[in-house]
């Protein structure tokens, strides 16, 4: 019954809704646009755009930003997403801490909080994350009605359809996903996205990969993740698991991985395993500046290794080289399969700069067919940790807009 009422006038409504979404998406990407630009971009006319835009201004989605300068003739009015009235919360969850960021529609950070909440596979974690969220809601000083959505990025296999994190199953409350549980409690739409996918989306929309059609972003952190942009969109695969590079087998005689298989790329290249090999090497008596840490060997961390490499420590350099080579080998597989225009390297390891990118580049040269390399550039992320918040923001806004 209700369905029939909705389907009345359906065609007109559908088209209008398409235009509304189009305008918001366009303004999100462009920052500021004139009516003429919007009309052209959406294959519509200026008077039509005037209508749509007026409506969206009314609803506080967009606002005017003065007029454009420079050209001859009458200066056109600029429109952009409203920097007030509507806010998004981004929770960047990892295994070592959690960051909460409140942003307006223009991605300006209006509130930030970093807490010592580590992702672990317990139901307690969900409770803590909810508490954090509620704290952010009040501490930010904004009206509850000003928040339009909450985005959470975290590692793990996140089932696209249900939002369940299958790697950390206990954080889901019974058969409800963490996301829908928090959504219920906070009365906000919640979107959960894999951290690497958020990162690549950030890099694609507002970073180095802007405007590229096919992008790979490799994120080297506590594990290895591959974020993929295809045809300008984040690529999820059938269930949301696409890009699981960390668990392809690279060494049949390698170490046992936590996933249960043997010789996964993760067992060689993740920061965890890198540190394991550093400690083993030091214990075996390898000559290195890092030997100074021998007594307190558990306190040594990856930044120490990178620092040592910078100072010319050959043990540290070797270790990084080894990791970079294996990463490059894994990446060349992905390059052969995806044929991207650009590969972005991201994560903790980027602090190692050329110590890690050189071997990656070398391995790609060695293991990739030349035709794949000719139009391919390999870059280090410039957005850094911001890429993730921006990616969450873009992901959430995409979802919100498309549900409008």
Cα separation of 305 and 315, whole Å?
A: 9
| 166 near its own copies (CB under 8 A) | yes
Q: Which is nearer to DNA, 67 or 377 (CB)?
A: 67
Instruction: Please report the DSSP string for 192-257 in residue order.
Output: EEEHHHHHHHHHHHHSTTTT-SSEEEEEESSSEEEEEEETTEE--TTTS-TT--TTSBS-TTSPBP
3-state DSSP assignment of residue 24: helix
Q: 79-82: long-range contacts (C-beta < 8 A, 24 or more apart)?
A: 79/27, 79/32, 79/33, 79/34, 79/35, 79/38, 79/53, 80/27, 80/31, 80/32, 80/33, 80/106, 81/24, 81/27, 81/28, 81/105, 81/106
| 185 near DNA (CB under 7 A) | no
Of these, 34, 140, 177, 236, which contacts its own copies (CB under 8 A)?
Answer: 236
Phi, psi of 172 (to 5 degrees): -85, 135
Please give the DSSP secondary-structure letter assigned to residue 300.
-
CA atoms within 13 Å, Cβ hemisphere of 55? 13
Cα separation of 65 and 203, whole Å?
A: 26
| Residue 9 interacts with, from its own copies, DNA, none (CB under 5-8 Å by kind) | DNA
Q: Which is nearer to its own copies, 12 or 69 (CB)?
A: 12
Of these, 84, 122, 123, 249, which contacts its own copies (CB under 8 A)?
Answer: 249
| Residue 75 interacts with, from its own copies, DNA, none (CB under 5-8 Å by kind) | DNA
Of these, 121, 336, 365, 404, which contacts its own copies (CB under 8 A)?
Answer: 336
Name which of residues 303 to 332 contact its own copies (CB under 8 A): 329, 332
| 369 near its own copies (CB under 8 A) | yes
Of these, 35, 182, 215, 220, which contacts DNA (CB under 7 A)?
Answer: 35
Query: Which residues neighbour 273 within 8 Å (Cβ) at sequence distance 6 or greater?
Result: 255, 266, 267
Of these, 57, 77, 148, 166, which contacts DNA (CB under 7 A)?
Answer: 77
Q: Which is nearer to DNA, 52 or 117 (CB)?
A: 52
Binding flags for its own copies, 144-163, as an x/- string (CB under 8 A): -------------x------
| 377 near its own copies (CB under 8 A) | no
Of these, 74, 312, 337, 374, which contacts DNA (CB under 7 A)?
Answer: 74
| 371 near its own copies (CB under 8 A) | yes
Task: State how far the alpha carbon of 169 is from the alpha carbons of 91, 120, 126, 164, 165, in Å.
Answer: 18, 10, 11, 8, 6
Please state whether 176 falls in left (phi above 0), alpha (psi between -120 and 50) or beta: beta
| 312 near DNA (CB under 7 A) | no
Contact 37, 30 (CB under 8 A): yes
Of these, 73, 252, 260, 285, which contacts DNA (CB under 7 A)?
Answer: 73
Of these, 67, 123, 239, 249, which contacts DNA (CB under 7 A)?
Answer: 67
By the criterion CB under 7 A, which residues form the site for DNA?
8-13, 15-16, 19, 34-36, 43-48, 50-51, 67, 69, 71-77
By the criterion CB under 8 A, which residues form the site for its own copies?
11, 14-15, 43-45, 157, 166, 213-214, 226, 228, 230-231, 233, 235-245, 247-249, 259, 261, 329, 332-334, 336-341, 367, 369, 371-372, 375-376
């Amino acid at each position: 019954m209700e369905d029939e009422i909705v389907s009345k006038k359906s065609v007109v409504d559908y088209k209008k809704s398409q235009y509304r979404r189009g305008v918001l998406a366009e303004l999100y990407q462009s920052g500021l646009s004139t009516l003429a630009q919007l009309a052209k971009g959406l294959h519509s006319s200026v008077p039509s755009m005037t209508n749509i835009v007026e409506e969206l201004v009314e609803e506080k989605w967009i606002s005017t930003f003065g007029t454009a300068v420079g050209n001859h003739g009458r200066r056109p009015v600029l429109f952009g997403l409203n920097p007030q009235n509507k806010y998004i919360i981004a929770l960047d969850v990892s295994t070592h801490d959690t960051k909460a960021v409140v942003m307006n529609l223009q991605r300006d950070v209006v509130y930030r909080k970093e807490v010592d909440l580590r992702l672990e596979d317990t139901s307690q974690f969900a409770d803590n994350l909810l508490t954090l969220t509620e704290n952010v809601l009040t501490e930010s000083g904004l009206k509850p009605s000003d928040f339009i959505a909450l985005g959470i990025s975290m590692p793990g296999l996140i089932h696209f359809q249900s939002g369940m994190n299958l790697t950390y199953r206990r954080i889901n409350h019974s058969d409800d996903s963490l996301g829908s549980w928090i959504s219920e409690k906070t009365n906000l739409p919640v979107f959960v996205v894999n951290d690497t996918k958020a990162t690549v989306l950030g890099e694609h929309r507002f970073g180095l990969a802007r405007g590229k059609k096919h992008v790979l972003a490799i994120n080297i952190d506590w594990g290895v993740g591959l974020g993929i942009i295809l045809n300008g969109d984040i690529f999820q695969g059938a269930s949301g698991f696409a890009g699981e590079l960390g668990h392809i087998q690279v060494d049949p005689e390698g170490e046992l991985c936590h996933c249960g298989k043997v010789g996964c790329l993760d067992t060689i290249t993740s920061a965890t395993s890198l540190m394991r090999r550093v400690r083993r090497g030091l214990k075996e008596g390898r000559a290195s500046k890092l030997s100074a840490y021998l007594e307190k060997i558990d306190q040594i961390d990856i930044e120490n290794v990178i620092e040592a490499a910078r100072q010319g420590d050959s043990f540290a350099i070797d270790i990084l080289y080894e990791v970079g080579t294996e990463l490059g080998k894994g990446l060349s597989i992905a390059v052969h399969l995806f044929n991207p225009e650009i590969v972005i390297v991201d994560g903790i390891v980027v602090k190692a700069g050329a110590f890690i990118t050189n071997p990656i580049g070398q391995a790609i040269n060695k293991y990739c067919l030349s035709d794949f390399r000719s139009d391919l550039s390999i870059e280090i992320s410039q957005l850094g940790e911001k890429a993730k918040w921006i990616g969450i923001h873009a992901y959430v806004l995409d979802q919100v807009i498309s549900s409008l």
